[in-house]
Structure 1
Amino acid sequence: MSSSERADLGRALCVITGASRGFGRTTAIEMSRLVKPGSVLVLVARSADDLRSLQAELAESDAGKAGLLVKCVVADLAQMEGPESVVSASKEVFSEDLDHIILVNNAASLGDVSRFAKSFTNMAEVDSYLSFNVSSSLCLTASILQAFPQRPGLQRTVINVTSLCALKPFCSWVLYCTGKAAREMMFRVLAEEEPDLRVLNYSPGPLDTDMQLVARSRTGDPSLRKTFSDMFTGGRLLTCEASCVKLMKLLLEDTYTSGAHVDVFDL
């Protein structure tokens, strides 16, 4: 541990979207180990069963036994009521002795990667994708910031789980690349506007998740599909745990430039 690295994330309210599986689930588990007793985790996803399973696991953990409160919010963030329900639940469990608000914008979908850009003529299909992957993230972030304004003694951190696809075009991934690029710019603007806010665009790398399974089986571009398959068969995918440990180290060190894109392979 470096001399500047702190030992924990404080007594925190952590809101994590897409928390039922994959990187979001792992983030919830890792954060639970780094927050002080009395902290609260608000876990958001569409799957009630998966959220309850994670809640039960956390209740049995050392953090759970030490008083960590875990609240589940079953919500579709693509609908207007989704972000509203998350904010409402967060207000219910917030107490004045909390000293850190952490929002992890992890929820995302891959979109139809079997098709190329020229096939997307249906505006409703594109709007639906962007509503879940871009609009909901901005509206939830803005609502959380309004609900918990800056005050002395309160740190606020917003994390956007991003991707190399925010920076580089991938053939047949037009929706995903567009969504990630838009989200990343959104958080870069936020960092410029809110100097007291800590904003991080974290790219967790190629993870061994259900999304990667879809990528290597359904990607329309044959060269890209082969790349993903070779990464899997060659054992070059990262575990969610390995990537998440690096994210936690970034948060503890707290020396990144606000709004920066930080890739797991840069660490």
Structure 2
Amino acid sequence: MEAGDTAGKRQPSLGKAACILTGASRGFGRSLALLLAPRLEAGSVLILVARSQGALAELEAELQCSFPGLKVNSVPADLSTEDGLQLVRRVVQDKLPGVADLEWLLIINNAGSVGDISKSFVDFTSPAEVNSYLAFNVTSALCLTSSILNAFPEHPGLCKTVVNISSLCALKPFKSWTLYCIGKASRDIMFQVLALEKPDVRVVNYAPGPLDTEMQQLARTKSGDPEVRQQFLNMKYSEQLLDCNVSAQKLVNLLLEDTFSSGAHIDFYEI
């Protein structure tokens, strides 16, 4: 789906919003940006974060051309580093608090990595390797979300929603996927805590299903466990992989309907 497919057509609106989307440059994140843009009213702000500067710049240009009323800002940043987190924080502080009459604050934590899936549990003996993975996949999501929420004092007219892009791996272990399972399970429970502590914030852990992305290619070629590798191969050959646009559309519909229990883990196939 390209932005031009939806530009100019009336669609259910998410109101005047400030939206921060990480992992926005490709795959599921890119699809989500293109689907959200036509539903944001004029004057809304969309902040796109990713490590790939070139792909991010292309997406920003595409959205600005198709949706001139939308303020699009791309932030090339490595969220595994303190410098990267500080850069995104500065952009949020500069671009968002000055936006008047916001109806909705939407934070979508999509950025993540699969880690080394060629290794088994007992191969992870380096704290530096594990800590580096957790810094990008867990710590950054916690610290960035907290910073953004703190930048917006509570007031009755502003709805706040936090989305964590989750996975079946948050609930079910997969052999040779130690780091990925750790990261997804940690993020799920972390955002459940947010839901408990902040009743005024709507929180959802959305598992998008098996997407036809580069990660799936890694899964069927690099997974250390042969049974797991074969499972992913079977999914590819039996055409069970999902198009990113299809899954992203389900998430947009979920946000529009807003009937989920805050903190819930919701899978693509449950909707």
Shorter-chain TM-score above 0.5:
yes
Percent identical residues:
53
Partner of 1:60: 65
| 1:198 lines up with 2:202 in the alignment | yes
Partner of 1:152: 156
Matched residues in 2 for 1:256 and 1:204: separation?
15
Deviations 1:39-92 (A, max 9, x none): 11100011110101101111222xx13x11110111111111222221211222
What one-letter code is carried by the residue in structure 2 that aligns with 1:134? V
Q: CA deviation at 1:237?
A: 0.3
Matched residues in 2 for 1:9 and 1:197: separation?
16
Q: CA deviation at 1:145?
A: 0.6
Deviations 1:7-57 (A, max 9, x none): 321101110001010111111111101111111110001111010110111
User: What SS class does the counterpart of residue 72 from structure 2 fall into?
Assistant: strand
Q: How does 1:177-188 map onto structure 2 within 5 Å?
A: 177-188=181-192
User: What SS class does the counterpart of residue 162 from structure 2 fall into?
Assistant: strand
Matched residues in 2 for 1:145 and 1:23: separation?
24
Q: CA deviation at 1:96?
A: 2.0
Post-superposition, which runs of at least 4 consecutive aligned residues in structure 1 deviate over 6 A? Answer: none
What one-letter code is carried by the residue in structure 2 that aligns with 1:244? A
Partner of 1:169: 173
Partner of 1:3: none
Matched residues in 1 for 2:60 and 2:47: separation?
10
- Normalising by the residue count of structure 2, what TM-score does the alignment of the two structures yield? 0.94
Deviations 1:163-209 (A, max 9, x none): 00000000000000000000000000000000000001000000000
Partner of 1:253: 257
Q: How does 1:20-59 map onto structure 2 within 5 Å?
A: 20-59=25-64
Could you list the runs of 5+ residues in structure 1 that have no partner in the other structure?
Answer: 1-5
Matched residues in 1 for 2:234 and 2:223: separation?
13
User: What SS class does the counterpart of residue 46 from structure 2 fall into?
Assistant: strand
Partner of 1:115: 119
Q: CA deviation at 1:230?
A: 1.0
Partner of 1:18: 23
Q: RMSD across aligned C-alpha pairs, in angstroms?
A: 1.0
Residue in structure 2 matching 1:132, options 132, 136, 149: 136
| 1:101 lines up with 2:92 in the alignment | no
Could you list the runs of 5+ residues in structure 2 that have no partner in the other structure?
Answer: 1-10
CA contact (8 A) 1:87 1:147 kept: no
User: What SS class does the counterpart of residue 152 from structure 1 fall into?
Assistant: coil
Matched residues in 2 for 1:149 and 1:214: separation?
42
Residue in structure 2 matching 1:72, options 65, 71, 74: 74
User: What SS class does the counterpart of residue 139 from structure 2 fall into?
Assistant: helix
What one-letter code is carried by the residue in structure 1 that aligns with 2:164? N
Matched residues in 2 for 1:188 and 1:130: separation?
18
- Normalising by the residue count of structure 1, what TM-score does the alignment of the two structures yield? 0.95
What one-letter code is carried by the residue in structure 1 that aligns with 2:16? R
CA contact (8 A) 1:150 1:156 kept: no
What one-letter code is carried by the residue in structure 2 that aligns with 1:26? S
User: What SS class does the counterpart of residue 112 from structure 2 fall into?
Assistant: coil
Matched residues in 2 for 1:161 and 1:235: separation?
23
Matched residues in 1 for 2:263 and 2:85: separation?
22
User: What SS class does the counterpart of residue 235 from structure 1 fall into?
Assistant: coil
What one-letter code is carried by the residue in structure 2 that aligns with 1:72? S
